Chains A and B, each alone.
Chain A
Amino acid sequence: QQQVKQSPQSLIVQKGGISIINCAYENTAFDYFPWYQQFPGKGPALLIAIRPDVSEKKEGRFTISFNKSAKQFSLHIMDSQPGDSATYFCAANFGNEKLTFGTGTRLTIIP
């Protein structure tokens, strides 16, 4: 049972554009929603995270938007750069339960 659905599977964005990755979850008990970034040959690294008491969180060029009623959250990368090319994973959990990951989005930024 996939509890976190992520789309798109792959995304190509021009340099300077906005990259948008979407996730939807089923478990209403989830109260922690992180995004991880993974480069080839490396393990995933925490990028940014949000809790459901806020609708948006911004860190530099990265923004999480959260819609509790729709059970959806998304990652926006503003002014996308070639160095942002990586695989992005959304995730969710509650308490000390396991972190459940989406299936990943391979982002490619082209010049």
Chain B
Amino acid sequence: KAGVTQTPRYLIKTRGQQVTLSCSPISGHRSVSWYQQTPGQGLQFLFEYFSETQRNKGNFPGRFSGRQFSNSRSEMNVSTLELGDSALYLCASSLGQVNSPLHFGNGTRLTVT
């Protein structure tokens, strides 16, 4: 079974631009969660989508948004990029049931200059 696939692996953007990250979950998984990982803050939850609906949301500004398609693939968008948005963005899929383990992709490394 293929794992979680995130594209692209690396991105370099300029402050003020916007960016879209993509995540393909494991086949059969209906939940996709996004996390931001930085050395100082660890893994910070952005949002979770389940069956195309946002089910949980973290404490990030509205510049961070996401969506999920009918095939469970998900995209995350960050508008008006700031230097502090530089991080590893991780996507995780699961069956979406209580205590379902999260299966993480290898992330997209975003650098904002």
What residues of chain A have their CB less than 8 Å away from a CB belonging to chain B?
A: 32, 34, 36, 41-46, 49, 51, 89, 95-104
CB distance from B32 to the nearest CB of A (A): 13
Give A93's nearest chain B residue, CB to CB.
B99
CB distance from A40 to the nearest CB of B (A): 11
Secondary structure at the A interface, as helix, strand, loop or mixed, is loop
Q: Is B16 an interface residue (CB 8 A)?
A: no
B92 contact set on A, CB distance < 8 A: 43
* Between-chain CB contacts (< 8 Å), 28 pairs: A36-B104, A41-B106, A43-B4, A43-B90, A43-B104, A43-B106, A43-B107, A44-B43, A44-B90, A46-B101, A46-B103, A51-B99, A89-B42, A96-B50, A96-B55, A96-B56, A96-B96, A96-B97, A96-B98, A98-B33, A98-B45, A98-B58, A99-B33, A99-B45, A101-B35, A101-B45, A102-B42, A103-B42
